[in-house]
Each structure stands twice: as structure tokens, then as C-alpha cells.
Structure 1
Amino acid sequence: MADVAESERRILVAVDEGEESMHALSWCLKNVVSQNSKDTLILLYAKPPRAVYTALDGTGRREDPSGYLFSSDILAAMEKYGAEVAVCVIEKAKKMCKDLQQDVKVEVRVENGDPRDVICQMAEQLGADVLVMGSHGYGLIKRAFLGSVSNHCAQNVKCPVLIVKKPKTNAFNK
């Protein structure tokens, strides 16, 4: 057991705007990261790709001019908003780390791209010993249409994957 406490693990935690990822981070800090360990917690936020718009969105055909024109100001505002969301998510996650586990070493990564691909690539590139992520708990139908980032990562990442489900609350437990 002493070997585990003294080893230097790289724990990758995928965070996003949802409560599920913050619950997974909290659970990780309380149950995976040990006190006085040499663990490094890597907080990863995958900034979803910005939709690609042509100058004239829609079909762009003369016979169907129903597209929308996006100015560079609107595109810049969308990019700025995406960056602000990333900063907010990372700051919230860093604060949680400080509050729950003051001595843990924290690294931060913000990457652009589809979260499925980004998380898998970063787990490999950063040499993660374990990947921790939350689960939205979609049912079979929603998961079939929306896809499951956690399921994709569990199938494609080489390191162990810990998927933390947020307990469901009902009206009687409040």
C-alpha cells in the first residue's frame, strides 16, 4: 500500500459546465487523491468546436436565399463567449481543488475540439494513469441520439476510466 501512496499518478479529470463533471471532480478529490500524495490532477476542458459558417449560411443558392449572414463581430462575440465559459469552468474546478485538497498539484488544459476526441487524445498525450469523468445519466434513447462522451472514452482510452454518476435526487429527499 505504501507504493500506491508514494507513486506519482497523473489523474486526468474532464470538466465542463455540467453539475455531473463537478460532482466527479469532488468525488475524485475525496476518494481517489490521497492526502500528502505526489498525485497531479490535470483538469481538462474541451472547448466544443465553433460551428463553421460560410458567408451565407443555409444553402447559399440563388434560388433559395434563406441563409443568414454572420458578421465578424458576431463570430468574435461567439468566440469570446466560448473562452469566457472555459475560464469560468476551470476557475470553479480549481477552487474546488483548493477547498477540498489544498496540497494537490493541479495542472490545467483547455483544448479545442469534439470532447470525445480531445479527452481521448489528451489521456494518451499526457500519460494519464486514470481518467475521471462524470456521466449525464442519459437513458438509452437519448444516448443513442446524443452520444455518450463517457462511453466513447471508456471504449477508446488506454488507461482505466472512472465514470462517476451523480446520485439522483427526488422530491422526497429534499
Structure 2
Amino acid sequence: MEQTTAETSAAAEGVGVATAQKKMKVLVPVDESDGSFYALRWALDHLFSSSEPQDEQEPNTITLVNVQPVFQPFIYPAGPVVYATPAVIEAVKKAQEQNAANILARALRICKDKKVKAETLILEGDPKDRICQAAEQLQVDLVVVGSRGLGTIKRALLGSVSNYCAHHAHCPVLIVKPPPKLSHE
């Protein structure tokens, strides 16, 4: 029994005990919403140390992902189906790429200000599915998503990316609620 006490007290003092920690891989989806950037700042403040990593501790890694919706080249108005021309399709794809690049550049600046290296990923498709797929493919340990602060009815009608991810991702999902002033903007 005394040996256990000695080991416990040595561990508490940090004497002769190796405290190597596994690095955590974090995925943070970002879009143009304030809620997603609030979640990014929260993750950086709470999961990433601003001090230099020690030899025994590997730094956590963060991957920023932006999911652009698939452009449908046809339109279903009240009348016959209308198809978009190749020039329109190309212009829309370029605009989506530029939008994703701008969002990720803003997120990267926030990471750089906190002295955290980040990787970026641009995906296309349904954000709910693509975020969960990316989390699995990248084998992340945690997904940190923002919440738009929708009420029950709006959430039911519009769907909730954070709710879907919480139920379908292979890893833990942390939903960061924004402060009251951001949640309804």
C-alpha cells in the first residue's frame, strides 16, 4: 500500500514520471457565419496551448474545412426545365472556389494570430455528410462545430449541421454555442 502512495505522490509532483501525451487531431468546419468563427476561436483558446510544445508532448493539429454546395446546372421553374450554360456553370464554380478561399484565409489568419499551424480542406456536397466523411477519413479525434442558435421550429425545418454531426460522426463532436448577441444574427 505504501508503494502505491509513493507512486501517486511522485506522479503528483511530476518527479520521474513521463507525461507524454498523444496529439489530438481537431476538425473545425467554417463557413461565413459568425458562429463557425466563434467555434474556431473557442477551439484555439481551449484546445491549443500558445506556449512552445515540450519534447514529450506533440502539438495538437487543426484542420479547417469549408464545404461548398454542389451547383445544380438545371432549374425547375413553374414551366419547363432550364439548363445553365457551360459559361454560367464555370462562373459559379469559380465564385464558390473564391468564396471558400476567402473563408479559409480568414480562418487561417485567426490561427496564425494564435500561433497555431492549420491545414485547410475545401469540399463539395452536403455539409452534414461531407463533414462526417472528412472526420472519418482524416481520423480526427474531435469535431468542433458552431451553433447558429436556431429555435426548435427553424432547426426542424432547416436542419442542423451540428445536430447531424453529433449523431453521425465517428468521433466526439463539440457544439460551441455563441454568446446571445451572436446567436440570432
TM-score scaled by structure 1? Answer: 0.84
Q: Deviations over 1:127-161 (max 9, x none)?
A: 11110010111111111111000000000112111
Residue 47 (structure 2) aligned to one of 5, 9, 32: 32
Q: Deviations over 1:55-107 (max 9, x none)?
A: xx437xxxx855435222211111111011000010000000011x21x2311
Q: Distance in 2 between matches of 1:39 and 1:28?
A: 11
Q: Where does residue 168 of structure 1 map in the other structure?
A: 180
Residue 91 (structure 2) aligned to one of 44, 64, 77: 77
Q: Distance in 2 between matches of 1:105 and 1:75?
A: 34
Q: Where does residue 11 of structure 1 map in the other structure?
A: 26
Conserved? CA contact 2:111–2:117, under 8 Å: no
Q: Where does residue 86 of structure 1 map in the other structure?
A: 100
**CA RMSD, Structure 1 to Structure 2 (Å):** 2.1
Unaligned ranges ≥5, structure 2: 1-13, 54-58
Q: Distance in 2 between matches of 1:112 and 1:3?
A: 40
Matched, 1:47 2:65: no
Deviates more, 1:23-32 or 1:43-52: 43-52
Identical positions, percent: 39
Report the Cα offset of residue 3 of structure 1.
4.4
Unaligned ranges ≥5, structure 1: none
Q: Residue 51 of structure 1: SS of its match in structure 2?
A: coil
* TM-aligned CA distance change 1:69 to 1:157, over 3 Å: closer
Q: Deviations over 1:22-52 (max 9, x none)?
A: 0100111111212334111100111111124
Structure number with bigger Rg: 2
Q: Distance in 1 between matches of 2:153 and 2:30?
A: 24
Residue 123 (structure 1) aligned to one of 125, 135, 144: 135
Conserved? CA contact 2:30–2:107, under 8 Å: yes
Q: Where does residue 133 of structure 1 map in the other structure?
A: 145
Q: Residue 96 of structure 1: SS of its match in structure 2?
A: helix
Residue 121 (structure 2) aligned to one of 109, 112, 125: 109
- Where do 4+ consecutive residues of structure 1 move more than 3 Å? 1-4, 64-69
* TM-aligned CA distance change 1:65 to 1:142, over 3 Å: closer
